[in-house]
Structure 1
Amino acid sequence: MDNPLERLGNIPVTASVLESLFPHIKRGNQKVRLLERDKQIIRLKKGLYVCNPKITGQILSTELIANHLYAPSYVSMSSALRYYGLIPEAVYTKQSMTLKHSRNFDTPLGRFEYTSMPKRVFSVGLTSIKKEGYAFVMATPEKALCDLIANSPNVNLRYLKDAEIYLEEDIRMELEDFKQMNTEIFEEYIKVGKKAESIRTLLKLIKK
Structure 2
Amino acid sequence: MNNVLSRLGNIPVTTPMLESLYPHLKGGNQKVRLLERDGEIIRLKRGLYVCNPEITGKPLSTELIANHLYAPSYVSLSSALRYYGLIPEAVYTTQSMTLKHSRDFDTPIGRFEYIYMPRETFSIGLSSIKQDGYAFVIATPEKALCDLIANSPNVNLRYLKDAEVYLAEDIRMEIEDFKQMNTSIFEKYIEIGKKAESIKTLLRLMKK
Relative to the length of structure 2, the TM-score reads: 1.00
The CA deviation at 1:2 is 1.9
Alignment RMSD: 0.4
Residues 1:201 and 2:201 are matched in the alignment: yes
**How many aligned residue pairs are there?**
208
Counterpart of 2:94 in structure 1 is 94
Tell me the SS of whatever aligns to 1:129.
Answer: strand
Counterpart of 2:129 in structure 1 is 129
What amino acid is the match of 1:177?
D
Distance 1:103 1:73 in 2: 11
Deviation per residue, 1:26-67 (Å, 9 max, x gap): 011100000000000000000000000000000000000000
Deviation per residue, 1:173-196 (Å, 9 max, x gap): 000000000000000000010000
Distance 1:136 1:22 in 2: 28
The CA deviation at 1:24 is 1.1
Distance 1:188 1:100 in 2: 22
Give matches, 1:1-208, under 5 Å. 1-208=1-208
Deviation per residue, 1:87-146 (Å, 9 max, x gap): 000000000000000000000000000000000000000000110100000000000000
Distance 2:3 2:22 in 1: 10
Distance 1:153 1:22 in 2: 50
The CA deviation at 1:147 is 0.1
Distance 2:186 2:36 in 1: 45
What amino acid is the match of 2:205?
L
What amino acid is the match of 1:101?
H
Tell me the SS of whatever aligns to 2:2.
Answer: coil
Distance 2:164 2:184 in 1: 20
The CA deviation at 1:3 is 1.1
- 4+ runs of 1 displaced by more than 2 Å? none
Which blocks of at least 5 consecutive residues in structure 1 are unaligned?
none
Distance 1:18 1:2 in 2: 16
What amino acid is the match of 2:18?
L
Relative to the length of structure 1, the TM-score reads: 1.00
What amino acid is the match of 1:120?
E
Distance 2:2 2:61 in 1: 24
Distance 1:109 1:11 in 2: 13
Distance 2:152 2:130 in 1: 29
The percent identity for this pair of structures is: 81
What amino acid is the match of 1:19?
E
The CA deviation at 1:75 is 0.2
Distance 1:192 1:119 in 2: 10
Distance 2:6 2:129 in 1: 23
